[in-house]
């Protein structure tokens, strides 16, 4: 390909290709140039925001050079690429990550200090990129980091929301949502004005016969919305690979407003079309593990799938390979069912536009996709009403009916004696209105389906996809236990711990091969190492204590046991169990003698997380936590023994401060409900212990770090059904200490009892679906064991260090290698030295 450009021109280009900065001086030259010219600011009005911008732009320039080379190399070698389709990418801040992955942070620290700035202040200027709700979106971000770090040719595809997840304010103890407009300055994206795709909605389908007498379907009419590409470079750690995350923004197809209307004076309606089009990518739906079947959401999904598929097919067609090569060149991973529309869309492109026959096309489609399931919660499983589908995407509905027909005929041939199975596995649910079951379509259209932790992957095979295991055999279903990137969640969030580990392991190789952590076990009895490990934890707690003081005005003692539960607020995650436990502790303290109080380890109970705006019960939990905090934190009888904190607006950059500062964190979902959980991994790798149920990845964490190093409690997944049944029909008595907690709430100890009656009644009168009462005694008992264990600081430290040493399995690098091997069948493309 190089030969297509004459040698003299190539030489000139090479001569003028910018050289990346290496020294602090060279960095400053770049940063100052950007501040002066790109920002048009001078020394006299360079505030921290401008210094952030200059730093980010200097690093961006470096990234872009490697990005260009990586993309070129991937195109030239033309090997199989992975496309990771996710409606959420919860990236957090990019600057620190870019500096660490490129490896020039020290240079920038020196340079900025010469200019009179502190790196920490500069880093904190950046707005989080919060294009996700929780674990699912953050997993996608960790996967991008790992795919680049391992040199896999991989692209992410998502939506460029103008508003990310809302910002949470706590006002008078209640959650208040504030819009998150994050794009006023975003140096990390490149608008590709030349890369656009027209996406069609509504209209109708006509059938014709072509010249050869073949039936063809044509989707006509309706409206067109334009998708514009915005590209974000994703740097690998310790490699020059820089992958691409492509986010689509929506615009009116003409790109202009209606001149006719404008000229006749209808100014407002002249821009209405444009605004309607832009609404598609305007806002992230703020629900975690909940689907509400809104038309705009389906529009978002199709818009993004259609644009991405068009782009992928366009790239493939440039290679001029035959269609049968498509699955050898392209692997598409569906992050949950949100991108399932990509399946009928590819089938549509192949038959309606490329003229393949149905079977040929379907064989390509069903070899291309892999589907990751992230939940078994019924309220999270996507279904779309058939009438809505018919209206918005008439051609796709026909294709889905045809996929379903072929599938059901196949099932009927293989299971002729089973009468009910067809009804159970049909993509179309025979309800009123009929519904399209997206998870079934995803299973049928993919060659592999995976869950995200062992228990979860087993559960999907025995519950929601049981019939499909029978139909396809068990090999179609597999497990890839989730992981986290150690670059962000250890090295970036906890630089001192990372440095300590590096000093013992002879360098930072563990950040690329996390299993090397096991060598730390040799230092578990090393006095100096232990001392420093402990000091680092304390310093991280001091930092969090300062943050709490600065933001909430509450003083907490950094020597107290920090007990943390930060995650989305959801009944299944059981923050209510935690706060009831806190009230139980408060009542116990109130009844203690001074001698007993002396023996008790002081605690700080820290909560954080957002509730979906329409999730009233979750908001009630937030309110209760804040009310309890108000009473407990001001009770003289309690003093330092117990503090209750609600951290506002939990997000990725706050998690980076919180995770390194915990002694205990809580992962206490009703067994069988949390598919994996990933913050459990983030806390343990930072030297915190956990209290948890036998759920999700807690089970594998226990297996890796050892039963002695984790505080497990509660009923098992296999008992849940029977317990629920016993609440409905059985002889069930409320645990007396939980009854005492309810009495204190109902007597108004924490403000108006009526505010919390639904929370209490859900347990007492309405079946306690999440089994809070069943696990309460065992939870409190385990909290007492934690108090006791914490008194023995030496043993505690041994547990913490041992756990860190055994966390090697939970790197997202391991996940990505497993996906590549079992699902994608792709190889890395290691950059050559001179690139």
Q: Which is nearer to ligand GL2, 257 or 572 (CB)?
A: 572
CB of 166 to ligand GL2, least distance (A): 16
CB of 451 to ligand GL2, least distance (A): 9
Residue 223's Cβ-count burial label (10 Å; 0-12, 13-18, 19+) is middle
Q: Which is nearer to ligand GL2, 380 or 668 (CB)?
A: 380
Task: Cite the beta strand spans of 558-635 per DSSP E.
Answer: 561-566, 603-608
The label of the residue with tokens 């360098």 reads 507
Q: Is 513 helix (H, G, I), strand (E, B) or coil?
A: coil
CA 769/CA 309 separation, integer angstroms:
41
Q: If you write DSSP's letter for every residue of 360-372 in order, what string do you get?
A: HHHHHHHHHEEEE
Interface region with ligand GL2, contact rule CB under 6 A, candidates 75-83, 299-307, 412-420, 670-678: 670-678
* Residue 340 in contact with ligand GL2, rule: CB under 6 A: no
CA 440/CA 89 separation, integer angstroms:
24
* Residue 717 in contact with ligand GL2, rule: CB under 6 A: no
Sheet holding 369-372, edge to edge: 190-201, 223-235, 242-252, 154-159, 81-85, 330-335, 369-372, 448-451, 477-479
CA 533/CA 519 separation, integer angstroms:
15
- Is the four-CA dihedral 154, 158, 162, 167 of positive or negative sign? negative
Inter-residue contact 168 to 177 (CB < 8 Å): yes
Interface region with ligand GL2, contact rule CB under 6 A, candidates 50-58, 133-141, 425-433, 729-737: 133-141
Q: Which is nearer to ligand GL2, 339 or 677 (CB)?
A: 677
CB of 695 to ligand GL2, least distance (A): 9
Interface region with ligand GL2, contact rule CB under 6 A, candidates 130-138, 238-246, 725-733, 748-756: 130-138
CB of 692 to ligand GL2, least distance (A): 12
* Residue 133 in contact with ligand GL2, rule: CB under 6 A: yes
Task: By CB under 6 A, name the one of 82, 136, 165, 443 that touches ligand GL2.
Answer: 136
* Residue 284 in contact with ligand GL2, rule: CB under 6 A: no
Phi first, then psi: give them for residue 396, nearest 5 degrees.
-65, -35
* Residue 99 in contact with ligand GL2, rule: CB under 6 A: no
Interface region with ligand GL2, contact rule CB under 6 A, candidates 127-135, 194-202, 245-253, 264-272: 127-135
CA 328/CA 305 separation, integer angstroms:
20
* Residue 145 in contact with ligand GL2, rule: CB under 6 A: no
* Residue 744 in contact with ligand GL2, rule: CB under 6 A: no
Question: Which residue intervals of 473-592 are DSSP H helices?
Answer: 486, 495-505, 527-552, 575-590
* Residue 693 in contact with ligand GL2, rule: CB under 6 A: no
The closest residue (CB) to ligand GL2 is: 135
Q: Which residues are catalytic?
A: 374, 567-568, 573, 678, 682
Q: Which is nearer to ligand GL2, 136 or 364 (CB)?
A: 136
Inter-residue contact 49 to 127 (CB < 8 Å): no
* Residue 678 in contact with ligand GL2, rule: CB under 6 A: yes
* Residue 651 in contact with ligand GL2, rule: CB under 6 A: no
Inter-residue contact 466 to 424 (CB < 8 Å): no
Interface region with ligand GL2, contact rule CB under 6 A, candidates 50-58, 131-139, 275-283, 325-333: 131-139
Site string for ligand GL2, 365-404 (x = CB under 6 A): ---------xx----x------------------------
Would you give the DSSP letter of residue 198?
A: E
Residue 519: closest CA among 528, 531, 530, 506: 506
Q: Which is nearer to ligand GL2, 151 or 482 (CB)?
A: 482
CB of 614 to ligand GL2, least distance (A): 16
* Residue 608 in contact with ligand GL2, rule: CB under 6 A: no
Site string for ligand GL2, 458-487 (x = CB under 6 A): ------------------------x-----
Q: Which is nearer to ligand GL2, 584 or 682 (CB)?
A: 682
Q: Which is nearer to ligand GL2, 372 or 783 (CB)?
A: 372
Q: Which is nearer to ligand GL2, 97 or 676 (CB)?
A: 676
CA atoms within 13 A on the CB side of 230: 18
Residue 727: closest CA among 693, 753, 765: 765
Q: Which is nearer to ligand GL2, 281 or 676 (CB)?
A: 676
Inter-residue contact 815 to 481 (CB < 8 Å): yes
Phi first, then psi: give them for residue 10, nearest 5 degrees.
-60, -45
Instruction: Looking at residues 482 to 501 of the shown chain, list those that interact with ligand GL2 (rule: CB under 6 A).
Output: 482
CB of 480 to ligand GL2, least distance (A): 10
Task: By CB under 6 A, name the one of 20, 54, 111, 135 that touches ligand GL2.
Answer: 135
Task: By CB under 6 A, name the one of 696, 714, 808, 828 that touches ligand GL2.
Answer: 696
Pairing of strands 154-159, 223-235: unpaired
Instruction: Looking at residues 507 to 536 of the shown chain, list those that interact with ligand GL2 (rule: CB under 6 A).
Output: none
* Residue 675 in contact with ligand GL2, rule: CB under 6 A: yes
Residue 756: closest CA among 620, 554, 618, 559: 620
Task: By CB under 6 A, name the one of 20, 111, 134, 233 that touches ligand GL2.
Answer: 134
Q: Is 512 helix (H, G, I), strand (E, B) or coil?
A: coil
* Residue 674 in contact with ligand GL2, rule: CB under 6 A: yes
Q: What's the residue count for the chain?
A: 835
Instruction: Looking at residues 547 to 566 of the shown chain, list those that interact with ligand GL2 (rule: CB under 6 A).
Output: none
Interface region with ligand GL2, contact rule CB under 6 A, candidates 114-122, 128-136, 238-246, 796-804: 128-136
Residue 21's Cβ-count burial label (10 Å; 0-12, 13-18, 19+) is buried
CA 612/CA 617 separation, integer angstroms:
10
* Residue 291 in contact with ligand GL2, rule: CB under 6 A: no
Torsion of CA 566, 568, 574, 580, to 10 degrees: 60
Interface region with ligand GL2, contact rule CB under 6 A, candidates 200-208, 226-234, 320-328, 676-684: 676-684
Q: Which is nearer to ligand GL2, 60 or 338 (CB)?
A: 338
Interface region with ligand GL2, contact rule CB under 6 A, candidates 148-156, 311-319, 622-630, 668-676: 668-676
Pairing of strands 330-335, 369-372: parallel
- How many residues bind to ligand GL2 according to rule CB under 6 A? 18
Q: Which is nearer to ligand GL2, 677 or 808 (CB)?
A: 677
CA 351/CA 359 separation, integer angstroms:
10
- 81-105 CB burial, b ≥16 within 10 A, e <16: bbbbbbbbbbbbbbbbbbbbbbebb
Interface region with ligand GL2, contact rule CB under 6 A, candidates 132-140, 179-187, 212-220, 590-598: 132-140
* Residue 289 in contact with ligand GL2, rule: CB under 6 A: yes
* Residue 816 in contact with ligand GL2, rule: CB under 6 A: no
Instruction: Looking at residues 434 to 463 of the shown chain, list those that interact with ligand GL2 (rule: CB under 6 A).
Output: 452
**Contacts (Cβ under 8 Å, ≥6 apart) of 11:** none
CA 723/CA 699 separation, integer angstroms:
21
Q: Quote the tokens at residue 368.
A: 């291309």
* Residue 347 in contact with ligand GL2, rule: CB under 6 A: no
CB of 141 to ligand GL2, least distance (A): 11
CA atoms within 13 A on the CB side of 738: 24
CB of 87 to ligand GL2, least distance (A): 10
Binding stretches for ligand GL2 (CB under 6 A): 133-136, 139, 288-289, 374-375, 380, 452, 482, 674-678, 696
């Amino acid at each position: 390909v190089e030969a297509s450009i004459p040698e003299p021109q190539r030489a000139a280009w090479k001569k003028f290709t910018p050289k990346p900065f290496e020294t602090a001086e060279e960095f400053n030259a770049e940063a100052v140039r950007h501040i002066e010219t790109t920002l048009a600011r001078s020394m006299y009005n360079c505030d921290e925001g401008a210094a952030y911008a200059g730093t980010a732009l200097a690093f961006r320039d470096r990234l872009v050079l490697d990005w260009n080379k990586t993309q070129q190399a991937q195109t030239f070698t033309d090997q199989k690429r992975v496309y990771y389709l996710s409606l959420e990418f919860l990236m957090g801040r990019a600057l620190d990550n870019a500096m660490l992955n490129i490896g020039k942070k020290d240079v920038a620290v020196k340079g900025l200090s010469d200019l009179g700035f502190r790196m920490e202040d500069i880093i904190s200027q950046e707005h989080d990129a919060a294009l996700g709700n929780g674990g699912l979106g953050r997993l996608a971000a960790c996967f991008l980091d790992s795919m680049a770090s391992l040199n896999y040719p991989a692209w992410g595809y998502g939506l460029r929301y103008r508003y990310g997840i809302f910002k949470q304010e706590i006002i008078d103890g209640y959650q208040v949502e504030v819009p998150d407009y994050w794009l006023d300055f975003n140096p990390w994206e490149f608008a590709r004005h030349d890369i656009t795709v027209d996406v069609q909605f509504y209209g109708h389908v006509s059938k014709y016969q072509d010249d050869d007498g073949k039936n063809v379907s044509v989707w006509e009419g309706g409206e067109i919305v334009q998708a514009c590409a915005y590209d974000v470079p994703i740097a690998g750690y310790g490699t020059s690979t820089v992958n691409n995350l492509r986010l689509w923004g929506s615009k009116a197809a003409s790109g202009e407003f209606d001149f006719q209307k404008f000229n006749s004076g209808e100014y407002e309606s002249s821009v209405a079309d444009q605004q309607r089009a832009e609404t598609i990518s305007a806002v992230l739906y703020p629900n975690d593990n909940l689907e509400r079947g809104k038309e705009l959401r389906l529009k978002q999904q199709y818009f993004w799938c259609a644009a991405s598929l068009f782009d992928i097919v366009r790239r493939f067609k440039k290679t001029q390979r035959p269609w049968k090569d498509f699955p050898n060149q392209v692997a598409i991973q569906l992050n949950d069912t949100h991108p399932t529309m990509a399946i009928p869309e590819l089938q549509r492109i192949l038959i309606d536009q490329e003229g393949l026959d149905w079977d040929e096309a379907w064989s390509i489609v069903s070899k291309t996709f892999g589907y990751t399931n992230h939940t078994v919660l019924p309220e999270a499983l996507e279904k779309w009403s058939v009438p809505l589908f018919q209206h918005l995407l008439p051609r796709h509905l026909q294709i889905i009916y045809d996929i379903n027909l072929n599938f059901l005929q196949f099932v009927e041939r293989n299971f002729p004696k089973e009468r009910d199975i067809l009804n159970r596995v049909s993509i179309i649910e025979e309800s009123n209105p009929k519904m399209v079951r997206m998870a079934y379509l995803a299973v049928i259209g993919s060659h592999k389906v995976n869950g995200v932790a062992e228990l979860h992957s087993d559960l999907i095979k025995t519950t929601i996809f049981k019939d499909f295991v029978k139909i396809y055999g068990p090999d179609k279903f597999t497990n890839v236990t989730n992981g986290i990137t150690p670059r962000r969640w250890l090295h970036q969030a906890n630089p001192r711990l990372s440095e300590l580990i590096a000093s013992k392991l002879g360098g930072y190789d563990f950040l690329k091969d996390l299993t090397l952590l096991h060598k730390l076990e040799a230092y578990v009895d090393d006095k100096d190492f232990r001392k420093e490990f402990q000091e680092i934890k304390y310093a991280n707690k001091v930092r969090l204590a300062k943050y709490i003081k600065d933001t909430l005005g509450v003083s907490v003692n950094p020597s107290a046991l920090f007990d943390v539960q930060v995650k989305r607020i959801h009944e299944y995650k059981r923050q209510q169990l935690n706060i009831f436990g806190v009230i139980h502790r408060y009542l116990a303290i109130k009844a203690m003698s001074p001698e007993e109080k002396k023996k008790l380890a002081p605690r700080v109970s820290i909560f954080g997380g957002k509730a979906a705006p329409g999730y009233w019960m979750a908001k009630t939990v937030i309110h209760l936590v804040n009310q309890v905090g108000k009473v407990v934190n001001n009770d003289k009888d309690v003093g330092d023994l117990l503090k209750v904190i609600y951290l506002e607006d939990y997000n990725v950059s706050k998690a980076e401060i919180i995770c390194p500062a915990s002694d205990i964190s809580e992962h206490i979902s009703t067994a069988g409900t949390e598919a994996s959980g990933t913050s459990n991994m983030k806390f343990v790798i930072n030297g915190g212990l956990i209290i948890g149920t036998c759920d999700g990845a807690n089970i594998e964490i226990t297996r890796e770090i050892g039963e002695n190093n984790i505080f497990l409690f509660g009923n098992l997944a296999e008992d849940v059904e029977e317990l629920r049944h016993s609440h409905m029909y059985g002889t069930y008595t409320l645990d007396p200490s939980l009854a005492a907690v309810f009495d204190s709430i109902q007597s108004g100890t924490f403000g108006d009892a009526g505010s919390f009656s639904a929370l209490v009644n859900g347990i007492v009168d309405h079946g306690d679906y999440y089994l809070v009462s069943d696990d309460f005694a065992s939870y409190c008992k385990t909290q007492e064991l934690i108090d006791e264990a914490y008194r023995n600081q030496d043993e505690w430290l041994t547990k913490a260090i041992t756990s860190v040493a055994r966390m090697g399995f939970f790197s997202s690098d391991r996940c990505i290698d497993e996906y590549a091997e079992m699902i994608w069948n792709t190889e890395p493309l290691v950059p050559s030295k001179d690139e």
